[in-house]
Structure 1
């Protein structure tokens, strides 16, 4: 809607995961490097955490694209709020899809998973299982079952385990895992995504706008960029939301550049209304 007004080829601040819109902030690049290390060296487990909106899913999607074919399959679990039996069955069905065997015991699921791991070892493949929203695992007593699953086929593996577990979640995940010492000791790396610095917020906005075919300096003045960082606290999802609405408002008001005052006004529209 506003693309033509700002001379954009597309909307730059959609919460998308396409590789071209990935901005290599230091915190994301460091996390990617550590996750590559853990998986490519066939370590048992890794942890990625950060506040909501920091780009954890973007990091995982980038990791998926960058890993070689020997690190397959990559199973991504996005709803781990289930029982241990259900989680084990879900994992098995994801990594080794096949016809349903009807009602079966957890022991048969584990045996099927172990056969799958043995087949992967024979094919020189190293599966990766990513559990998103992993801060929910503790309340469902799932951390210990996942740790025990790391023992399957481990004696035949080249590295520490026959597969790598990647736990992804909110910062509370760190304290949850630390309470399970046996699992904590299996973590090869712990990655925390930190909020963007002021200069990184500006670079992030410039990168996004450039990918959409325009120049950020011709859309946002310098005080506006500084104000965006202050109001969003350097969290990419908040930056996207504020900038997208600012572009819409600027278009509606036929502005040629967005100022700090415009950003403040737009941010006020985003804030929740006060209930009297």
Structure 2
């Protein structure tokens, strides 16, 4: 029997499928509101800052799939990319190729001309492009220079770049100086963790509690409120509870799986 069937669920509650809906807790709602402000006011640049595992990539995926269309900006072109390891010119080529839907643009010089033509047409038609960039802390100096070049132009372009809070110093100071709004994405409080677990189980057809209050408190303590760790610990705790045939996932289940995980993940 699958562990989720033991808990009378319709499916795995913490699927890694990227098309899973976003849990819109208080911190996520605040971040989404700030992104919507930047887009609806056609602002140039925003920085999404948070610790590793807090859900920055999930938030960007959600924005790309559900554009924040408003009366002020009724037509949006949303693009999401990772700048991880990009060399000089790659960002321009990727952006030009995807915006125009053409075959891969061969060289950065051609890509720049294509982008200039595209944004001129977009400006006439009232189209705002939103570029969502992940892994900015891992970008090369050359790729960051390409981004700065884009931002220096009067293009109808809003850029939201995500950066790990512990690695903010890896991003150039000039990029942060251009930033018009910083979007903080902190770890969750315990109430938000409890709401997330309740939401996850309701989506799979169970309204009764699965975790005891003590188990939720222990999850919060071990995960430090980071969603990635919460999901990992909660999922494995469900497995442990099903194996031991408990009525509810308790503190012992959580401690058991935490002990078996690498200490960097369990603490």
- The reply to whether TM is greater than 0.5 is yes
Change (3 A) 1:71 1:128: farther
Q: Is the 2:13–2:204 contact (alpha carbons within 8 Å) kept by the matching residues of 1?
A: yes
Which residue number corresponds to residue 63 of structure 2? 63
Q: Structure 1 residue aligned with 2:132, among 115, 127, 130?
A: 130
- Find out whether 1:166 has 2:160 as its counterpart: yes
Query: Structure 1 residues 125-134 or 164-173, which shifts more?
Result: 164-173
Which residue number corresponds to residue 224 of structure 1? 215
Deviations 1:96-152 (A, max 9, x none): 2213565x4x33321110101111112211011111101122x43332321221233
Q: Is the 1:135–1:172 contact (alpha carbons within 8 Å) kept by the matching residues of 2?
A: no
Which residue number corresponds to residue 158 of structure 1? none
Specify the SS of the correspondent of 1:256.
Answer: coil
- Find out whether 1:150 has 2:151 as its counterpart: yes
Q: How does 1:163-202 map to 2 (within 5 A)?
A: 163-172=157-166, 174-177=168-171, 179-180=173-174, 183-202=175-194
Change (3 A) 1:108 1:18: closer
Give the paired residue count: 259
Query: Structure 1 residues 31-40 or 141-150, which shifts more?
Result: 141-150
Deviations 1:18-52 (A, max 9, x none): 464x3222221111111111111111111112112
Q: Is the 1:80–1:87 contact (alpha carbons within 8 Å) kept by the matching residues of 2?
A: no
**In 2: Cα distance, 1:107 partner to 1:172 partner:** 35
- Find out whether 1:107 has 2:106 as its counterpart: no
Which residue number corresponds to residue 74 of structure 1? 78
Tell me how far 1:262 sits from its aligned partner: 1.5
Specify the SS of the correspondent of 2:242.
Answer: helix
Specify the SS of the correspondent of 1:191.
Answer: strand
Q: Structure 2 residue aligned with 1:233, among 224, 231, 240?
A: 224
Q: Is the 1:71–1:126 contact (alpha carbons within 8 Å) kept by the matching residues of 2?
A: yes
Specify the SS of the correspondent of 2:161.
Answer: strand
Q: Is the 1:132–1:168 contact (alpha carbons within 8 Å) kept by the matching residues of 2?
A: yes
**In 2: Cα distance, 1:261 partner to 1:100 partner:** 54
- Find out whether 1:98 has 2:102 as its counterpart: yes
Specify the SS of the correspondent of 1:128.
Answer: strand
Change (3 A) 1:237 1:71: farther
Q: Is the 2:4–2:12 contact (alpha carbons within 8 Å) kept by the matching residues of 1?
A: yes
**In 2: Cα distance, 1:32 partner to 1:221 partner:** 31
Which residue number corresponds to residue 257 of structure 1? 248
